Each structure stands twice: as C-alpha cells, then as structure tokens.
Amino acid sequence: MISAKMEKVLNEQINEELFSSYLYLSMASYFENTKYTGFAQWMRIQSHEEYEHAMKFFEFIIELGGKVTLAAIEKPKAKWTSPKNAFEEALKHELHITDKINKLADLAIEEKNHAVGSFLKWFVDEQVEEVSHAQGIVDKFDLIGDSKGSLFMLDRELGKRSKD
C-alpha cells in the first residue's frame, strides 16, 4: 500500500518534525536564559506540537504496513540576536516545512496514492496556520520596534498560549 519511495520520504518527514520539535525546544531554552518566559512558554508548546506531528507520521507509516526508520536529529542552533530574530527564524523554518509537506503531497498525487494524499491534507492545512501564526508574531515585533514595554507585553501575551 506504500511504495519504497513514499516510505522513504515519509520517514524523512518524521526527522523534519522531530528536528522542528528540537529547534523550538532550543528556542524555549534561549528565551528562558534571557528571561522571556512568555516566549519560552510559546516555544515549549510549539515543540510539543511538532513532536505530535512526528508521531502522526510514525503511526501512519505503520498503519500502511511500512517500516519506520529513524535518523539522527541535527543539533539545533542555540543563540539568536534577539527575540524577534528567533521568531523570524521560526517563520523561515515553518516555510521550509511547508515546502516539504507540499512536496510530499505532490508525490502522493504523482503516485496516485489517495490514502497518503488524504493524510497529508491535514498537514497542508496545519502549515497554513503555522505560517500565519509565526508571520503574525513577526509582524507584531515590527510594530513594537524598540519599545521595551511593548516587548514585555508581547512576551506576556504569548505566555498565555495553552496546549489546546
């Protein structure tokens, strides 16, 4: 029910999602170390979400009768020049993941694998949301400029994010 090529790229996506989780956890650590606990909370939840995405791929491969093959996770960056810079890199990363998901969806169409295509629809929609949220936060950083009071308020606002 799954081609060798599809199995390979789905396994690669598990690695992408696990790296995403690791990257956001690294960003959470950076924010904790710089005392931006609200930004850290936002990133911890984002990390958990990305781990859940990896597990969706993991379980789906097994459901298809495929074999999950895990690879090493690249070490993420640990320092950024500013909170805005970290969120800009988060946005850049989400655009990268969107491209990966779109390529998976293209392969599903090419292989006429409707099961994989149906599964990936959720991820296509999820990436629209992920990019929109990251872009919105970067836009807020642009609006607040160098205002420390506004930065404090944004940190507090993002700290209210919950796992819902």
Quote the CA–CA distance of 60 and 75 in Å, as a whole number.
Answer: 26
pLDDT at residue 1 in the model: 75
Structural domains in the chain plus CATH codes: 4-158 (1.20.1260.10)
Of 86, 146, 141, residue with least CA distance to 157 = 141
pLDDT at residue 16 in the model: 98
- Token digits for 81? 């020049």
Q: Which residue has the tokens 């929109």?
A: 132
Quote the CA–CA distance of 92 and 88 in Å, as a whole number.
Answer: 6
Residue-wise pLDDT for 87-126, tens only, equals 999 999 999 999 999 999 999 999 999 999 999 999 999 9
What element of type H or E holds 81? none
**Checking phi first, is residue 147 left (phi over 0); if not, alpha (psi -120 to 50) or beta?**
beta
At residue 130 the predicted structure's pLDDT band, cuts being 50, 70 and 90, is very high
